[in-house]
Homo-oligomer: A and B are copies of this chain.
Amino acid sequence: MEARIFFWEMMTQPGIPTLVHVAKLAGVSENTVSRVIRNKGAIAEVTRERVLAAIQTLGYVPNRAAGSLASSGSMLIGVLLPSLSNVVFPELLEGIHAALRQTSYQAMVGVTDYDEAQEEQILSSLLAWRPVAVITAGFDHTAKTRMMLDTSSLRVAEVMDIDGEPIDIAVGLSHRKAGYDTGRFLIERGYRRIGYVGHDWSADRRARHRYEGLRQALTDAGLGLVDEARAEGRSSATAGGEMLSALLRRQPSIDAVAFSNDDMATGGFFHCLSAGIAVRERLALFGFNGLEIGQALPLPLSTVRSNRFLIGKKAVETLLEHRMRPTERLVVDTGYEIVEGATA
């Protein structure tokens, strides 16, 4: 069967135009059109313009599936996120998209819902599109997931967290160190009876690392955590308020509380407002993330700013630097910044 379609047929064709149509209309070969599109090889200016005009009139959009198949290069980056409800992930994704904007790469996002079994399945369906790289939040993978990422030759960036051994590259910050610095900060400010309010970290290993860092700092200073309260579900302002209230009931003498993140701390702040507790004078509050909401509070929240946008951007940039996975594993520390605030 002849695949070519003549001009008069093309005009009555209901289907989507292809290279053949453009080539026919411009009076050149398919390959020439392809080269114009990809800016590859020498093309006479007249030809280029003729082809561009044909593309324009037909409203031709190249079929990336065909391109990917033919060139075994997909221009896709797979992104594996545990959730989108926690603001940090959308922010990360914004950074990824921002970096991608300059390139002709596309992100393909999968949301695992903190479920490792789903992660496997979703990774499979991402890999089905043969991305050139995968960005995944954190180091928590099932053995099979790790195997898939490890054996495939694609570039892998594990982001947010650098307290672990990366498969290929890691971009983020040391949560353990951030937790440690939180402890140091509170100690230096003279707080001695320090408590902790957190959320369920079974799905959030970074929060646990911060907690561990915090404890280490206290231990190193000859102190200890007075008490702690951990909410069951995910972090939220509501949970932060409730947990703080519970903690203070048990330990009224606590003079500072480190929260697992800003959401929780914000809830803690609201609790203090309702309960008439003077923030900082009577009770210091410290968060993590540096969210806008914390800085908008009547007293700006003392916290650690982790730059999620930068992490996403940096991850993409670093991944795209080299197409091949280098033998050396790379760790990019995007750092963090202590925000003094007014609550601690």
- List chain A positions with a Cβ less than 8 A from chain B: 16, 59, 61-66, 68-69, 74, 83-85, 87, 89-91, 93-94, 97, 101, 104, 106-111, 113, 118, 124-130, 147-148, 151-152, 236-238, 240-241, 266-267, 270, 273-274, 292-293, 295-298
Contact = CB atoms under 8 A, between A and B. Distances in A.
Query: Chain A binding site: helix, strand, loop or mixed by DSSP?
Result: helix
Contacts of A126: 106
Nearest to A129: B64
B266 A293 contact: yes
A130 B296 contact: no
A152 B84 CA distance: 30
Contact of A129 (B59, B65, B130, B266): B65
A63 B59 contact: no
A69 B63 contact: yes
A211 to B, nearest CB: 22
B292 A236 contact: yes
B236 A296 contact: yes
Contact of A84 (B94, B128, B129): B94
Contact of A111 (B94, B241, B274): B94
B97 A111 contact: yes
Contacts of A90: 84-85, 87, 89-90
Contact of A61 (B61, B85, B101, B124): B124
Given A65-B65, A65-B74, A94-B111, A241 B296 contact: yes
8 contacts: A84-B91, A106-B125, A236-B292, A236-B296, A237-B293, A240-B296, A270-B298, A273-B298
Nearest to A126: B106
Given A59-B151, A87-B87, A64 B296 contact: no
A65, A108, A273 pick with most chain B CB within 10 angstroms: A65
